[in-house]
C-alpha cells in the first residue's frame, strides 16, 4: 500500500538523525553543485580581467604592435600570387587561402582588390574564446595555434571577425617534403585533419631574416612587412618605408577597427591608383 | 508480496512495468533503427572527417550545434515543472513530475553527447577539463552543462527512491533482475518519518539549487554566441532570450510526453484535462514572453544602419533561409493563438500547440546559428552557403531517437507517474473537497488493463 511510505515507522527510529551516509552524500552533491555555480561566476570575472588586460584602448594597443603589415591597395592588381606563394610555402590545398584576395566594388571607391591575411590582432577574439589554449599569443605578439591542443571546436572560426581561419575538414594530401617537417606551432607541418589553421606571418622565415612568403611573392610590391619598433616596412622590391609616416600620410585604415581587435595589418586606400 | 491492496490507480501506473504491448516493440524497433543509422553515420564521419558534413570555413557550425541548443532547451521542462512548481507549492504538479524529470535527464544526456559530433577531435573532449581556459565561454558551457546534468540526475533519483521501495515491495517475484536493482537503489528506504523528512529537505534543497544551475546552463550557452562580434549574436538579451525559448519548448515537450504517456498507459484519470490546461497557462506565459523578445530582438536589428545587420535581416526575411524564419516565427504565433483561444484549449489543441512550439523552436535555433555565419565579414566577400548532408541528418535523427529510447527504457523501469508524490498529494487533499471529479473515475480501458495484469500476475 502506498500509504506505507509515510506511516511505516515500524523500526521505531523516528526523530533520530539517522543515515549519516546519505546526509553526507546529499551535502556533497550540494557542495559540488554550488562549486559549479561559483566557478562560473569566477570564470566570468576572470574573462573580464583577461580582456581588460589585453585590450588597451585606441592608440595604446599600438604599444603591443610588434610586426606590422602594410598593404597598398593602389598597387594590388588582384593576381593572387601572394595566395599561391603562401600555399606553396605551407603546403596548402588549393581551397585553403590563408591570405585571400577579395574583389571589392563598394560603389564609391571603384573596384579594388583586398588581400586579407590574419590580422594578428592585439586583442585576438580567436584566442579569447579558445577553450584549451590551443590558440595563443607568443612573445612576439603573434597569434599562433598549438595543434596538439586544438580539439577542433571551431569556436575561433566563429569568433574571428575577419574570416581569417580555415579548418582542415578532411585528411590533407601529404607530400614527402611536407611530411619531412617536424611540427611546431610556427611551422605546423605536417598538416592534420580536424584542426583550425591560419596565416602566421611566416614566423619561421623571420628567423632566417626573410620576408613572409606572400610579401616576397607579390610582383607588384603591394605588401610591406616589418618590425614596428624599427619603424620600417619593406616590400618584395626592396623598397622600405617609414611605418608611422606612411600610415599617417596615406590615411591608412584597418579592417573593422571599431571592434577593438587592434589589427597589425594596415591598408593604404587605393586613391590615385597606379599600375 | 504482490500488488494486492494497491488502489486501482497505482495498479494502472504500474501496469506498463509488467505488460508490454505491441506499440512498445514497434517504437523500440524504429528508434533502435534510427539510432543504429546514426552510429553508422558517425563512423563515416570519424573515418572521413567533418568533410562529410555540409560545414565549411564560413558556416563552421550547423545543425549539430543548433540541435544541441535545442536539447539543452527542452531540458528546462523538467526543471520548471519539478523545481519551480515545487517551490511555488503548485500541488497539481504531482502526477507529471516524474515525466518532467525524465525528460530533463534524457534531454541532457543527449545534449552531453551532441557537441562530440561537432568536434574535429572528439577524442580530445576532456582536454576542455584538463587544459580548460576559464576565460573561454565554451569552458563555462562545459562546467554548467555538466553541473546541470549531475544535478538533474540527482533530482530524478532522489524523487524516485520511495517509488523504488514500493516497486521492490509490490512487484511480483518473477521480475527478479529489476527487483534486485530496486532493492539496491532504494538505499534502505523504509519510509520512516525521519527519512521522509530528510528526503523532503533534500528535494527542497536541490530544487532551490537547480534553478540557477539551469538558468546558467542556457545563458552560458547563449554567450558562446553573445561573446562574439557577429551580427545577430552579439546581443545583450541573448541569455534571457535563450532561457525563455528553452522554457517554452521544454514545457512543450513535457506536454507532449504527458499526452503520449496518458494515451499509451491509459492514465486519463491521473493526468487529467486539468493538468493540460495548467500547462497551457504556463506555455502561454512563456510563449508571449518569447514573442515579445523576438520582436525586440529583430526590430532593433532592423533599425541598425550597419551593413552586417542589414544583410542579416535581408537573409532572414527574404534570403534562401527565409522560409525557415517565417515558418518558425508564424509557428510561434500560431502556438500562442492555440493556447490562448478558449475553443482550442483542449487536450488535443494544447498538445498540438506544444508540437508546433517545438518544431518552431527547433528551426529557430538553426535560424540563430546559421544566418549570422552566412553574413560576409570582409568587403567583397559573398554570402556563405550551407546545406546539411545525410550524415548530419542521420546524427540528428539518432539524437532524437536516443531521447525517445531513454524515455522508452525508463517507462519499463520506473513508473512514469510518481506514485508516492501523487499519494502524498491525495492525502493532503483528502480533507478538502475531492479534487477534479473526473479524476476519480477510471476509464474503461484502464479497468480492462488492470484486470489483465491482475490475471497475469495471479498465474505467476
Ligand atoms: S584576424 Fe582572426 S585569426 Fe587572426 S588574430 Fe585576429 S581574430 Fe585571430
Ligand atoms: S578549433 Fe582549436 S584553436 Fe580554434 S578555438 Fe577550438 S581548440 Fe582553439
Cβ atoms of residues B210 and B152 within 8 Å: yes
pLDDT score at B173: 82
Q: How far away, in angstroms, is A197 Cα from ligand 1 center?
A: 11
Q: How far away, in angstroms, is A156 Cα from ligand 2 center?
A: 6
Chain A nearest-CA residue for B9: A2
Please indicate whether residue A255, judged by its CB atom, sits closer than 6 Å to ligand 2: no
Contact A132 B229 (CB under 8 A): no
Residue B361 binned pLDDT confidence (cut-offs 50, 70, 90): very high
Among A238-242, B13-17, B29-33, B258-262, the range scoring the smallest mean pLDDT is B13-17
Closest Cβ opposite residue A157 in set B60, B162, B216: B60
Cβ atoms of residues B368 and B232 within 8 Å: yes
Chain A CB contacts of B224 below 8 Å: 129, 155
Residue B437 binned pLDDT confidence (cut-offs 50, 70, 90): very low
pTM here is 0.85
Alpha helices in chain A (DSSP H): 4-7, 20-55, 81-90, 125-129, 155-159, 176-179, 203-207, 213-217, 243-249
A165 CA: nearest ligand 2 atom: 4
pLDDT score at A24: 54
Query: Is residue B459 exposed (0-12), middle (13-18) or buried (19+ Cβ within 10 Å)?
Result: exposed
Query: For residue B5, is pLDDT > 70?
Result: no
∠ CA B17-B20-B22 to the nearest 5 degrees? 155
Query: For residue A55, is pLDDT > 70?
Result: no
Q: What is the mean pLDDT of residues B325-343?
A: 96
Among A58-62, A142-146, B69-73, the range scoring the smallest mean pLDDT is A58-62
Return contacts of A146-149, CB within 8 angstroms, 24+ apart.
A146/A185, A147/A183, A147/A185, A147/A188, A147/A192, A147/A195, A148/A183, A149/B127, A149/B131
pLDDT score at B435: 44
Query: For residue B440, is pLDDT > 50?
Result: no
Please indicate whether residue A68, judged by its CB atom, sits closer than 6 Å to ligand 1: no
Beta bridge pairs of residue A112: A104
- End-to-end alpha-carbon separation of chain A, Å? 94
Contact B194 A17 (CB under 8 A): yes
**Residue of B7, B46, B126, B133 best to disrupt the A interface, most CBs of A under 10 A:** B133
Give the 3-state secondary structure percentages of chain A, helix then strand then coil, rounded to 5: 35, 15, 50
- How much is the ipTM here? 0.87
* Residue A99 DSSP code: S
A157 CA: nearest ligand 2 atom: 4
Q: Which of B366, B388, B383 is nearest to B55 (CA)?
A: B388
Grid cell, residue B16, equals 506498463
Residues 6+ apart with CB under 8 A from A139: none
Calpha distance B161→B167 (Å, rounded): 10
Grid cell, residue A61, equals 594597443
A263 CA: nearest ligand 1 atom: 6
pLDDT score at B460: 35
Grid cell, residue B49, equals 572527417
Query: For residue A33, is pLDDT > 70?
Result: no
Q: Report pLDDT digits (tens) over B286-311.
A: 999 999 999 999 999 999 888 899 99
Q: Which of B307, B288, B310, B285 is nearest to B298 (CA)?
A: B310
Q: Report pLDDT digits (tens) over B196-223.
A: 999 999 999 999 999 999 999 999 999 9
Cβ atoms of residues A23 and A91 within 8 Å: no
Q: Report pLDDT digits (tens) over B121-153.
A: 999 999 998 889 999 999 999 999 999 999 999
* Residue A111 DSSP code: E
Q: Exposure string (b/e) for B428-440, b if CB count within 10 Å is 16 or more? A: eeeeeeebeeebe
Whole-number Cα distances in Å, B322 to A114, A263, B302: 30, 34, 15
Query: For residue B441, is pLDDT > 50?
Result: no
CB neighbours of residue A17 within 10 Å: 9
Cβ atoms of residues B174 and B460 within 8 Å: yes
pLDDT, greater one: A15 or B379: B379
Query: For residue A149, is pLDDT > 80?
Result: yes
pLDDT, greater one: B12 or A173: A173
Q: What is the mean pLDDT of residues B433-455?
A: 42
DSSP string, B378-433: STTPPPP-----HHHHHHHHHHHHHHHHHHHHHHHHS-SS-HHHHHHHHHHHHSSS
CB neighbours of residue B89 within 10 Å: 7
pLDDT score at A44: 52
pLDDT score at B81: 84
Q: How far away, in angstroms, is B123 Cα from ligand 2 center?
A: 14
Amino acid at each position: 500500500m502506498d500509504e506505507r511510505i509515510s506511516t511505516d515507522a515500524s523500526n521505531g527510529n523516528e526523530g533520530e538523525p539517522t543515515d549519516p551516509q546519505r546526509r553526507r552524500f546529499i551535502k556533497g552533491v550540494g557542495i559540488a553543485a554550488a562549486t559549479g555555480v561559483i566557478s562560473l561566476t569566477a570564470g566570468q570575472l576572470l574573462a573580464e580581467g583577461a580582456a581588460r588586460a589585453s585590450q588597451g584602448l585606441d592608440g595604446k594597443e599600438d604599444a603591443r604592435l610588434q610586426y606590422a603589415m602594410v598593404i597598398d591597395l593602389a598597387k594590388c592588381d588582384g593576381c593572387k600570387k601572394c595566395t599561391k606563394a603562401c600555399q606553396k610555402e605551407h603546403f596548402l590545398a588549393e581551397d585553403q587561402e590563408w591570405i585571400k584576395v577579395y574583389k571589392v566594388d563598394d560603389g564609391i571607391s571603384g573596384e579594388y582588390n583586398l588581400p586579407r591575411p590574419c590580422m594578428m590582432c592585439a586583442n585576438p577574439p580567436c584566442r579569447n574564446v579558445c577553450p584549451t589554449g590551443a590558440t595563443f599569443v607568443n612573445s612576439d605578439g603573434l597569434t599562433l595555434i598549438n595543434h596538439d591542443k586544438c580539439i577542433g571546436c571551431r569556436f575561433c572560426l566563429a569568433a574571428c571577425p575577419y574570416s581569417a581561419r580555415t579548418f582542415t575538414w578532411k585528411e590533407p594530401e601529404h607530400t614527402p617534403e611536407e611530411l619531412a617537417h617536424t611540427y611546431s606551432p610556427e611551422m605546423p607541418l605536417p598538416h592534420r585533419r580536424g584542426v583550425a589553421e591560419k596565416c602566421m606571418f611566416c614566423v619561421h622565415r623571420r628567423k632566417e631574416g626573410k620576408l613572409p612568403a606572400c610579401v616576397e611573392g607579390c610582383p607588384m610590391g603591394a605588401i610591406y612587412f616589418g618590425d614596428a619598433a624599427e619603424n620600417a616596412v619593406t616590400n618584395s622590391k626592396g623598397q622600405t618605408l617609414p611605418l608611422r609616416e606612411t600610415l599617417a600620410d596615406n590615411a591608412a585604415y584597418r579592417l573593422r577597427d571599431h571592434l577593438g581587435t587592434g589589427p597589425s595589418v594596415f591598408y593604404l586606400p587605393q586613391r590615385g591608383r597606379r599600375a | 508480496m504482490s500488488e494486492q491492496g494497491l488502489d486501482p490507480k497505482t495498479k494502472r501506473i504500474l501496469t506498463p512495468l509488467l505488460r508490454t504491448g505491441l506499440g512498445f516493440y514497434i517504437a523500440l524497433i524504429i528508434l533502435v533503427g534510427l539510432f543504429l543509422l546514426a552510429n553508422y553515420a558517425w563512423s563515416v564521419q570519424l573515418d572521413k572527417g567533418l568533410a562529410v558534413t555540409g560545414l565549411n570555413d564560413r558556416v563552421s557550425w550547423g545543425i549539430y550545434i543548433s540541435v544541441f541548443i535545442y536539447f539543452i532547451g527542452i531540458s528546462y521542462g523538467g526543471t520548471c515543472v519539478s523545481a519551480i512548481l515545487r517551490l511555488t507549492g503548485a500541488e497539481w504538479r504531482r502526477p507529471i513530475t516524474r515525466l518532467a524529470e525524465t525528460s530533463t535527464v534524457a534531454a541532457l544526456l543527449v545534449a552531453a553527447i551532441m557537441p562530440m559530433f561537432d568536434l574535429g577531435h572528439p577524442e580530445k573532449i576532456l582536454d576542455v577539463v584538463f587544459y580548460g581556459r576559464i576565460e573561454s565561454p565554451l569552458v563555462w558551457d562545459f562546467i554548467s552543462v555538466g553541473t546541470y546534468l549531475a544535478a538533474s540526475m540527482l533530482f530524478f533519483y532522489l524523487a524516485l527512491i520511495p517509488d523504488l521501495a514500493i516497486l521492490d515491495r509490490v512487484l511480483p517475484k518473477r521480475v527478479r533482475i529489476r527487483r534486485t536493482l530496486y532493492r539496491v537503489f532504494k538505499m534502505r528506504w523504509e519510509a520512516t518519518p525521519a527519512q521522509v523528512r530528510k528526503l523532503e529537505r533534500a528535494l527542497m534543497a536541490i530544487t532551490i539549487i537547480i534553478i540557477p544551475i539551469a538558468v546558467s546552463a542556457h545563458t552560458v550557452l547563449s554567450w558562446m554566441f553573445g561573446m562574439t562580434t557577429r551580427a545577430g549574436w552579439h546581443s545583450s538579451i541573448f541569455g534571457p532570450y535563450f532561457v525563455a525559448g528553452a522554457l517554452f519548448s521544454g514545457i512543450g515537450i513535457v506536454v507532449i510526453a504527458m499526452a503520449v504517456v496518458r494515451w499509451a498507459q491509459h492514465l486519463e484519470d491521473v493526468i487529467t484535462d486539468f493538468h493540460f490546461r495548467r500547462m497551457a497557462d504556463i506555455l502561454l506565459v512563456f510563449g508571449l514572453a518569447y514573442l515579445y523578445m523576438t520582436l525586440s530582438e529583430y526590430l532593433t536589428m532592423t533599425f541598425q544602419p550597419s551593413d552586417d545587420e542589414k544583410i542579416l535581416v535581408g537573409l532572414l526575411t527574404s534570403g534562401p533561409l527565409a522560409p525557415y524564419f517565417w515558418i518558425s516565427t508564424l509557428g510561434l504565433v500560431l502556438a500562442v493563438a492555440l493556447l490562448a483561444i478558449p475553443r482550442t484549449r483542449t487536450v488535443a489543441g494544447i498538445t498540438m500547440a506544444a508540437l508546433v512550439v517545438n518544431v518552431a523552436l527547433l528551426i529557430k535555433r538553426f535560424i540563430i546559428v546559421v544566418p549570422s555565419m552566412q553574413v560576409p565579414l570582409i568587403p567583397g566577400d559573398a554570402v556563405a552557403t550551407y546545406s546539411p548532408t545525410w550524415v548530419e541528418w542521420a546524427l540528428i535523427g539518432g539524437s532524437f531517437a536516443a531521447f525517445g529510447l531513454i524515455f522508452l527504457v525508463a517507462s519499463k523501469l520506473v513508473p512514469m507517474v510518481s506514485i508516492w508524490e501523487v499519494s502524498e498529494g491525495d492525502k493532503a487533499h483528502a480533507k478538502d473537497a475531492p479534487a477534479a471529479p473526473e479524476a476519480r473515475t477510471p476509464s474503461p480501458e484502464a479497468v480492462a488493463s488492470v484486470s489483465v495484469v491482475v490475471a497475469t500476475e495471479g498465474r505467476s
